[in-house]
Amino acid sequence: MKLFIYHTPELTPTDQAPECAIAVDVLRATSTMATVLAAGGEAVQVFSDLDQLVEVSEKWPPEKRLRAGERGGAKVAGFELGNSPLDCTPELVQGRRLFISTTNGTRALQRIQEAPIVLAAALINRAAVVKFLLEKQPETVWIVGSGWEGSFSLEDTVCAGAIAHSIWKESHASLEDLTGNDEVASAIALYSQWQNDLLGLFHQASHGKRLLRLECLDDLKYCSQTDILDILPIQHEPGVLKSQSK
């Protein structure tokens, strides 16, 4: 297994595809997706375009759908949800499909949706992602951070590093054998430095600061936890993720 980490969707190669691609948007899209599925949501369907989201979701009965829209960290007017995983309670999401469009995370998923295996990862479900990779042993794995509007983000890269670090330690492979590009070693180093204070790192991150200005400290606290959800969001058709069958 060779791991490749890309800090943003724009940095992924356009002339090739991996056997497995993983989208990471810790603050907050992939954290929200994992939370929705863990709370009994039927599926998560992602859109980059808000109008398209509304058009497609209109075909679903109101009691079977939820619409989540976020731009610039704030909730889009007219949508039931923004992008806070803390709003996704079992009482609200059970049996419903979440139609979601966010500033960055949905774009990352759409960039990789043609890969044979597509996963959504966050710190909260890191262990489930690692377990899947160690069992399936895909030949090439891309871990794609969402970044922020095309720029590097600390929280996505530290999550990519957390995944790579676990695979490195649990597979007993050499770092040289595992590493497909330089970003893997740098992401592992970032995670190793901050693994005991991920919330502190989020306070340093530009998007973390943006969310703090929006009074979303509880979201940061939640998203900075590791391995609290045994859930693996996996793509069943382009743009639609469901929980992996146990």
Lowest mean pLDDT among 13-17, 27-31, 147-151, 160-164: 147-151
CA 139: distance to chain centroid?
21
Give me the mean pLDDT over the 147-154 stretch: 91
3-state SS class at 179 = strand
87 Ramachandran zone, left/alpha/beta (phi>0; psi -120 to 50): alpha
Per-residue pLDDT tens over the stretch 178-221 = 999 999 999 999 999 999 999 999 999 999 999 999 999 999 99
Instruction: Calculate the average pLDDT of the chain.
Output: 95
- Written as six digits, the tokens of 168 are 């490195």
Give the single-character DSSP code of 60.
Answer: S
Does residue 195 fall inside a structural domain?
Answer: yes
Does residue 245 fall inside a structural domain?
Answer: no
212 contacts 203 by C-beta, under 8 angstroms? yes
Give me the mean pLDDT over the 46-60 stretch: 94
- Written as six digits, the tokens of 3 are 């791991």
Does residue 244 fall inside a structural domain?
Answer: no
Give percent above pLDDT 90 in the chain: 89
Does residue 25 fall inside a structural domain?
Answer: yes
pTM to 2 decimal places? 0.95
Does residue 168 fall inside a structural domain?
Answer: yes
Note the pLDDT of residue 245: 61
40 Ramachandran zone, left/alpha/beta (phi>0; psi -120 to 50): left
The tally of CA atoms less than 13 A away on the side-chain side of residue 182 is: 0
Does residue 34 fall inside a structural domain?
Answer: yes
Q: How far apart are the first and last CA of the chain?
A: 23
Does residue 143 fall inside a structural domain?
Answer: yes
- Written as six digits, the tokens of 244 are 């992996």
**Domain membership of residue 121 as a residue range:** 2-239
- Written as six digits, the tokens of 46 are 């992602």
CATH number at residue 194: 3.90.1560.10
β 233-237/20-24 pair status: unpaired
Give me the mean pLDDT over the 90-104 stretch: 93
For the chain, how many structural domains are there in total?
A: 1
> Which is nearest to 5 in space by CA: 195, 241, 163?
163
Note the pLDDT of residue 246: 45
Per-residue pLDDT tens over the stretch 163-176 = 999 999 999 999 99
